[in-house]
Chain A
């Protein structure tokens, strides 16, 4: 190796050795071992290890409607105070039109209303008061809804026993979930699909006229029964106590009523509930979950201990899930699943196996081809190619990248494309040889002349690949990562490692010429 500096040899050998050593963690793949070295393994994407990817959207429009409901209630109260009669109310997504029978006192009503609501615009036009929720207020409603939703989703997923979930915000009002290894995505979706808004209301059994007319009087609500939607209850609109005051909920079993959920209130909740039950002994209260009555038992005696059970015709899974939902708390607004990708463990394992076979056979094919074309230099190019693969795998492991199915495709593609740099070099060497240059001069010139072409050619593929990384989602990002790493590694292996191997071969074989 008289033509190759020692320090350079050592450096090349060191880098390649590191490349080989750091593939070990990926090959003996173990779940998190806690060992600094073994944890440098490749993470498998959901499409390879199985699991679910969910994209949820917080349905914030409903919150605007709730806000408008509050506004309209407050207007009614003020109107009643000022003795103004309402004609009708029309609601849009973020505005509300309230028409009165007169224009008298409307300005007064507006002023009074605006004392309580600062984040809305109220305009009077003849007999109509138009109220618009302003953008800032909308944004703050949306913002707090998504933050709260994230927290609740996290709690629910944790409670469901999913391991290593990834839960993160995506854009203005979306939540992205990656749940590796879950076997029953339907159950998770069921858990996330419920708002779980639990409230306790007093039932009004005296006013049967409103019920038959199906028109609730002011301050009341008509709510259907969960099991039989023909059964209706007239309840107070205002909840006596709600799920936010719960501190614990567990699935339990009641000998008479079957599966149940037992719950416990915090101090405030216990006080409110105690007060409501002691004032209303003999009457019924309704347990309302997401807009339907689950149960409406008669209050036999005041419940002051702050705990109780909810019964219904639950299955044991339903009871468990309801307990999970109640513990985690209610979502501020419903979540809608707008994208789902679930892969079973069988398909993931098949994909890995198929990817391995494709890579190995592609590798063998390329290696044989290179030997047929270039003989000894083909073998050298093949050693570089194998080193390239080791470097890709070790880099994937050490940077903690995720390997996906398109990522495997990227590796197989790299196997085919990575030899390009070597081909460019060998062809240049060949040309130099044909000019009757000496072998070592030809090798040196060949490398030097090929380098700028190699750079130019690879940069374009790298650009395409980086753009994929920026724009692509999960699996496609995996492709761009392996392809980019493959291209970068191939530049190193082709230009530096192959060069080293050629000098090494010349110094060992003592040959003075080559047949290219």
Chain B
């Protein structure tokens, strides 16, 4: 109707597999950098996982430096940050040994009440809870990976499961590396983002694998790299269109969804981009390590 579909790669015939070594190298380097970042810089853990107190206020007649001068003498570790605009400020306090949310939050409220227009939110996470939440988060990620792996294993040959999990691990590590690099607040919703990215990444790989499986049956004579290329090209417009619609929604969420949701949205945006990339350039080439057609591969080797 509008003819725009012609711009997108329908009946495309790109040679993805030809460049696989280059992309795999890039990915290995990116993974390495991500791991280094995670190891040495770490994630910017929010109070969900670190414990502490967070108070969000809006003010008409004050600013960070004034609030800091009021609160710093009273508390050991106060950090402040503008949240979206200069009138909204987030105050973070660390748990001290005799932590009692009621006292900390009360004390802050009393000290700055005349500067504050509205106390928008206050959160306190005690040390037992923060370590529990971290543990539960890690468990959730672990279980999700296992469950997804089992599903792929049941529905496909195990080689596909391996490829999907390599791509998935790649996506999760890269996204975490990105969050670490830019110091994005890592909270419970980040765990939700990571799991959703895992689901999305697998989803993308599955669609291509599905086609590979179909084509393996259909084109019995075709070389594996060519067959993989063909399958990627068959599904390419779907891969691109779905990624774009998902990104449109996520970018809208990032821009208009409010400050609280931004860390989630940015993690998802990165995850979707990287998940799309990896399903083509990582998941599929990984399958080449396996011999789907033993006799043919053997012939070639000779």
Q: Which residues of A contact B (CB under 8 A)?
A: 55, 57, 185-186, 189-190, 193, 336-344, 346-347, 350-351, 354-355, 357-359, 361-363, 365-366, 369-376, 378, 405-406, 408-409, 412-413, 415-417, 419-420, 423-424, 427, 430-431, 434, 452-453, 456-465, 467-468, 470-473, 475-476, 479-480, 483, 515-516
Q: Pick from B5-13, B64-72, B216-224, B293-301 the stretch touching chain A.
A: B5-13
Closest 9 CB pairs of A and B: A375-B1, A416-B249, A464-B199, A354-B258, A362-B252, A461-B199, A416-B246, A471-B140, A358-B257
Among A342, A343, A354, A464: residue with most chain B CB under 10 A: A464
For the side of the interface on B, what is the size category? 35 or more
Do the beta carbons of B199 and A460 come within 8 Å of each other? yes
Q: Which A residues are CB-close (under 8 A) to B251?
A: 362, 365
Given A344-B118, A354-B256: A427 in contact with B237 (beta carbons within 8 A): yes
What residue in chain B is nearest A406 (Cβ atoms)?
A: B189
What residue in chain B is nearest A171 (Cβ atoms)?
A: B132
Among B8, B136, B139, B248: residue with most chain A CB under 10 A: B248
Given A424-B207, A430-B10, A464-B195: A412 in contact with B252 (beta carbons within 8 A): yes
- Compute how far the CA of A358 lies from the CA of B56 in the bound complex, rounded to whole angstroms: 22
What residue in chain A is nearest B168 (Cβ atoms)?
A: A460
Q: Which A residues are CB-close (under 8 A) to B1?
A: 374-376, 378, 515
- Compute how far the CA of A267 lies from the CA of B212 in the bound complex, rounded to whole angstroms: 84
A selection of 10 A-B contacts at a CB cut-off of 8 Å is A338-B126, A346-B58, A358-B253, A365-B248, A378-B1, A424-B207, A453-B206, A465-B199, A471-B139, A472-B191
Do the beta carbons of B58 and A365 come within 8 Å of each other? no
For B192, give its contact among A346, A358, A472 (CB under 8 Å). Answer: A472
Do the beta carbons of A370 and B207 come within 8 Å of each other? no
Q: Which B residues are CB-close (under 8 A) to A366?
A: 245, 248-249
What residue in chain A is nearest B140 (Cβ atoms)?
A: A471
Answer whether residue B123 sits at the interface, using C-beta atoms and an 8 A cutoff.
Answer: yes
Answer whether residue B115 sits at the interface, using C-beta atoms and an 8 A cutoff.
Answer: no
Answer whether residue B152 sits at the interface, using C-beta atoms and an 8 A cutoff.
Answer: yes
From residue 246 to 266 of chain B, which have CB atoms closer than 8 A to chain A? 246-253, 255-258, 260-261, 264-265
Q: Which A residues are CB-close (under 8 A) to B81?
A: none
Distance of B209 from chain A, by nearest CB (Å): 8
- Compute how far the CA of A340 lies from the CA of B100 in the bound complex, rounded to whole angstroms: 10
- Compute how far the CA of A333 lies from the CA of B1 in the bound complex, rounded to whole angstroms: 73
- Compute how far the CA of A362 lies from the CA of B237 in the bound complex, rounded to whole angstroms: 21
Q: Which A residues are CB-close (under 8 A) to B256?
A: 354, 357-358, 361
- Compute how far the CA of A487 lies from the CA of B3 in the bound complex, rounded to whole angstroms: 30
Per-position binary interface string of chain B over residues 109-138, scored 1 when its CB falls under 8 Å from any chain A CB and 0 otherwise? 100000000111111111011000100110
Given A55-B129, A366-B245: A416 in contact with B144 (beta carbons within 8 A): no
Do the beta carbons of B192 and A457 come within 8 Å of each other? no
Answer whether residue B196 sits at the interface, using C-beta atoms and an 8 A cutoff.
Answer: yes
Q: Which A residues are CB-close (under 8 A) to B109?
A: 186
For B200, give its contact among A189, A405, A461 (CB under 8 Å). Answer: A461
Q: A423-B245, A461-B203 are in contact. List 11 more A-B contacts (CB 8 A).
A: A336-B126, A339-B126, A340-B105, A406-B261, A412-B250, A417-B245, A427-B235, A457-B210, A462-B199, A465-B195, A479-B189
Do the beta carbons of B253 and A362 come within 8 Å of each other? yes
Q: Which A residues are CB-close (under 8 A) to B123?
A: 340-342
Distance of B234 from chain A, by nearest CB (Å): 7
Q: Which A residues are CB-close (under 8 A) to B207?
A: 424, 453, 456-457
Do the beta carbons of A464 and B196 come within 8 Å of each other? yes
For A413, give its contact among B8, B139, B210, B250 (CB under 8 Å). Answer: B250
Do the beta carbons of B129 and A339 come within 8 Å of each other? yes
For A373, give its contact among B5, B106, B196, B247 (CB under 8 Å). Answer: B5
Do the beta carbons of A354 and B257 come within 8 Å of each other? yes
Q: Which A residues are CB-close (under 8 A) to B126?
A: 336-339
What residue in chain B is nearest A434 (Cβ atoms)?
A: B11
Answer whether residue B101 sits at the interface, using C-beta atoms and an 8 A cutoff.
Answer: yes
- Compute how far the CA of A515 lies from the CA of B139 in the bound complex, rounded to whole angstroms: 48
What residue in chain B is nearest A487 (Cβ atoms)?
A: B199
Among B155, B242, B268: residue with most chain A CB under 10 A: B242
Among B155, B199, B242, B264: residue with most chain A CB under 10 A: B199
Distance of A39 from chain B, by nearest CB (Å): 29
Do the beta carbons of B247 and A424 come within 8 Å of each other? no
- Compute how far the CA of A344 lies from the CA of B152 in the bound complex, rounded to whole angstroms: 44
From residue 156 to 172 of chain B, which have CB atoms closer than 8 A to chain A? none
- Compute how far the CA of A369 lies from the CA of B152 in the bound complex, rounded to whole angstroms: 31
What residue in chain A is nearest B110 (Cβ atoms)?
A: A186
Do the beta carbons of A409 and B265 come within 8 Å of each other? yes
Distance of B92 from chain A, by nearest CB (Å): 14
Answer whether residue B198 sits at the interface, using C-beta atoms and an 8 A cutoff.
Answer: yes
Answer whether residue B39 sits at the interface, using C-beta atoms and an 8 A cutoff.
Answer: no
Distance of A222 from chain B, by nearest CB (Å): 24
Do the beta carbons of A417 and B188 come within 8 Å of each other? no
Q: Which A residues are CB-close (under 8 A) to B181?
A: none
Do the beta carbons of B261 and A343 come within 8 Å of each other? no
Do the beta carbons of B196 and A476 come within 8 Å of each other? no
Do the beta carbons of A340 and B122 come within 8 Å of each other? yes
- Compute how far the CA of A434 lies from the CA of B140 in the bound complex, rounded to whole angstroms: 44
- Compute how far the CA of A473 lies from the CA of B260 in the bound complex, rounded to whole angstroms: 17
- Compute how far the CA of A190 lies from the CA of B105 in the bound complex, rounded to whole angstroms: 12
